[in-house]
Structure 1
Amino acid sequence: MPKISVITAAYGPSAHHLAEAARSVQAQQLPPGWSLEWIVQEDGDNPVLANMLGAHAHYDRNGTRLGIAATRNLALARATGALVQNLDHDDVLLPHALATLIARFEQHPIHWAVGAADDLLEDGTRQSWDSALPFGLIPAGHVNQWAEQHGGNWPVHGGGLMMRTDTLRAIGGWTGIPVDDDLAALAAISELADGWNDRTVTWLYRKHRAQTTQNSLYAGLEDTGRRIALQRAKAIRNIAGPTLSTGAAFDSDSADVEVGPNIKLTP
């Protein structure tokens, strides 16, 4: 049975909307034959979220503050699905979200897909946006070419991506930077492989004062993540080009590995 892993990096002091994210995962209407695992990884020195989550969540904690990229990657290490769906702890998946995008992977040899998103405002209203890209199949490199032509602003939101798990692991997971780690991962995957931009609104991007992008800890880094993403896309284009195949349809065994004792810790 193919499986999809929904990955959520959470941080207690700003996880005010985690319960709503949890309800949105539980409400997913999966295609026949598919199963779902929700992997929640909590960042921070003082974990507080375990009791807020039901038994359906595969929860673990960092035990220290590592940042969002490392937290997502620790969750990725526990993923056993052939596909990964990112879900930030303050965003919402609409009930048809996973089924809509899974169907695109079944129909096309793609490595990533994203649905349209409405902004979810603090008063509970939604604001929609027109897509800057055409809907449907997006050729490798097209997303980053658009970004290069528009001052390092991307027409696709990395926070809503569904990706092949093996592809995400192959590029090193979410990029290890304090901001825009999802954007830099999108830059790499979309430069290497075709994807899909779906016209269906599949998720809600919450706009609120406590979100990471408005955190004063990241003052001065507003442009750094986008610059790194552009550099990454250009480097891949220069030395690699689109060479990825889709491999076996949804037969992901990359999580089925074993490690022995760490010889560096042996006396």
Structure 2
Amino acid sequence: MASLGRKLKTAFGILRDSGPTGLKRRLAAMKIPRRQKVLYSKWLEKHGSISADQLAWMNSTIESFAERPMISVILPVYNVDEKWLRLCIDSVINQIYPHWELCIADDASPSPHVGRVLQEYSANDSRIKLELRSENGHISAASNSALALATGELVALLDHDDELTADALFWVANEFNAYPRTAIIYSDEDLIDERGRRFAPKFKPDFSRDLLYSLNLLTHLSAYRTDLVRSIGGFRIGIEGSQDYDLELRAIEKIDDDQIRHIARVLYHWRVIRGSVAYSMDEKPYAHERARDAIRDHFERTGIRGKVVESFLSLHRVTYRNPDRVPPATVIVSTDVIEGNVCKRIGVAENYETVIVPVAVSDRAKLLNEAAARSKADVLVFLDGNLRFVDKEVIDELIAFAMQPDIGAVAGRIIRSDHCVEQAGIVIQPDLSPAFAHAGFPREAPGNMFRNRQISNYSAISVACMVVRRELFDELGGFNRSVTLTDLFDFDLCLRLWERNKRIVVLPHVELIRSGNVPQRIFRPEDLEAFRSRWHQYEDRDPFCNPNLKRDGSFGIDV
């Protein structure tokens, strides 16, 4: 009854604030996770267990490893129910990969069963190391006590009521062997309830720095080189509740992005019990603010002029401060309508220089390049003339992102007239044709990994809204004018930016509303063939769309 009361209160609040249409859109947004729940059940039927053939292959592969790293599983414990503690420890003991040690630190649990259970396991298995702390020091101190026991080349993090899949450490060791420079490994994960039912998978993208600044992307399972963790001082005292997130941020400061590897497999079950963040993001509100403190500290250490505020569902939104001089920008508007006030029509301040480029031409790339060449501004804003910024101030936020040295191009989120998403980034499909990310999603829907609402990276964005530094645009020679890339020039530019390690970023809270119908982009077979020839490495995988998901922009679970 209490749950029903909360739902009714929420519904009445939406009805009051947004009216019947807003309530209808919110209900539509709720249907998407329900569909995913059904699809995940089907996915588990295919992929949720390890067959005898797979087990034999894993054992054979272990024998062929050039390196068999010792993996130290770090397990801080405090006052956990005996049932969950035993399931947790058993999930380590049952690992297919044999080269592990379990490093447990009990943080002076008052419940007597905790010490008894831990001593029982430690006495029965020499691979289980135990530190019984005499004083309670909270999660960071307990994690450091467990870390002090570690002798392995890698450390993997485990919470005291969660479980590893039986193949978890095998895949960690396999990744370490395949990519010896690896410093951090993370996997996909799901939730598990008190009855052992699995649900709500997190099928993550490959490393996405801007998504990491929005939420804890790595979470579970994460593994690190032990010497890296020790070199940064282990877990920081005073950031409890977000100590793992803080560890990630400090660790990535010491390594290159290509040393962070993502295993696109569910290797970790996060227990849903009352009082945990897995149960509700509202359970530990202090953890979210400490996470933002961790981001602020990261920016200060790395010299980034940014700030972070609370965002959707208590997650985080980063903004960057423009230099002392606000960089001038030219807005290059693709439109066949030349009458009227262009700035007013597209929703930007009057002080922006605007250049009109006709739409109905065969060589758009040439005209856009010529318009860019005439600009003396630091920043180029390419914009579809049928779009209007919801807030004329937000263009400054796009420009501030574009001015960051490691960012290549930036876009907002385009909303259709029916309040659903037109595009919020581009997913590269297996045939290399582009698909609009979250197209058709209700505006309010969280989307894959909250990316319909949170700042994130994509392989590409479209010229309908693209903000790029002119210097960078010129270095790349502008849009590719090859006759075989007639209508793929914007996506080609984005992939060339990634080649230079320049990130493509979408800011979903920066919204543009489309007037009229969504234009259809038709790609000629010869264009796609040329695009495939140039960017064939994207045929097998778009790094920002998990391979367990459909690459059609829907992010639906692929069963």
Would the aligned equivalents of 1:7 and 1:84 in 2 still touch at CA under 8 Å?
Answer: yes
- Structure 2: distance between partners of 1:123 and 1:220: 26
Say if 2:88 is the partner of 1:38: no
Counterpart of 2:226 (choices 150, 155, 165) is 165
Q: Determine the C-alpha separation between the residues in 2 that align with 1:230 and 1:126.
A: 31
Find the aligned partners of 1:132 and 1:178 in 2 and give their Cα distance. 24
Q: Verify: 1:115 aligned to 2:187, yes or no.
A: yes
CA distance in 1, matches of 2:170, 2:284: 38
Matches within 5 A, 1:237-256: 237-238=302-303
- Which structure's relative contact order is higher, taking Cα pairs within 8 Å and 6+ residues apart? 1
- For 2:205 and 2:261, locate their aligned partners in 1 and report how far apart those are by CA, in whole Å: 10
Sequence identity (%): 24
- CA 1:25–1:119: 2 relative to 1, 3 Å: same
Residues 113 and 197 in structure 1, CA contact (< 8 A), matched pair in contact too: yes
Letter in 1 for 2:148: A
Q: Secondary structure at the match of 2:87?
A: helix
Q: Give CA-to-partner distance per residue, 1:193-235, whole Å, 9 cap, x none.
A: 23111111111011111437779xx865143221122123323
Q: How does 1:94-243 map to 2 (within 5 A)?
A: 94-108=165-179, 109-134=181-206, 138=207, 142-143=208-209, 145-148=210-213, 150=214, 153-157=215-219, 159-176=220-237, 177-193=239-255, 194-211=259-276, 221-238=286-303
Letter of the structure 2 residue corresponding to residue 184 of structure 1? D
Indicate the RMSD between aligned Cα atoms, in angstroms: 2.4
Question: 8 Å contact 2:131–2:145 — kept in the other structure?
Answer: no
Q: Write out per-residue CA displacement over residues 91-111 of structure 1, whole angstroms, 9 at most, x where no aligned residue.
A: 101111001011111221111
Structure 1: gaps of 5 or more residues: 240-267
Distance 1:119 1:76 in 2: 26
In the alignment, the residues of structure 2 paired with residue 147 and residue 41 of structure 1 have an alpha-carbon distance, to the nearest angstrom, of: 28
3-state SS of paired residue (1:192): coil
Unaligned ranges ≥5, structure 2 = 1-67, 305-559
| Aligned partner letter, 1:40 | I
Measured in 2, the distance between the counterparts of 1:15 and 1:190 equals: 35
> Greater Rg, structure 1 or structure 2?
2
Q: Is the 8 A contact 1:14 1:210 kept in 2?
A: no
- Distance change >3 Å, CA 210–CA 105, structure 1 → 2: same
Q: Report the equivalent of 2:71.
A: 4
What is the CA distance between 1:124 and its match in structure 2? 2.1
CA deviation digits over 1:31-83, x for unaligned, max 9?
xxx62111111012647323213122211111111101100001111111111
1:131 & 1:237 partners in 2: Cα distance? 29
Paired amino acid for 1:20? L
Secondary structure of the 2:266 match is strand
With the length of structure 2 as denominator, give the TM-score of the two structures.
Answer: 0.37
> 1: distance between equivalents of 2:95 and 2:136?
31
Runs ≥4 in structure 1, deviation > 6 angstroms? 212-215
Is 1:68 equivalent to 2:139 in the alignment? Answer: yes
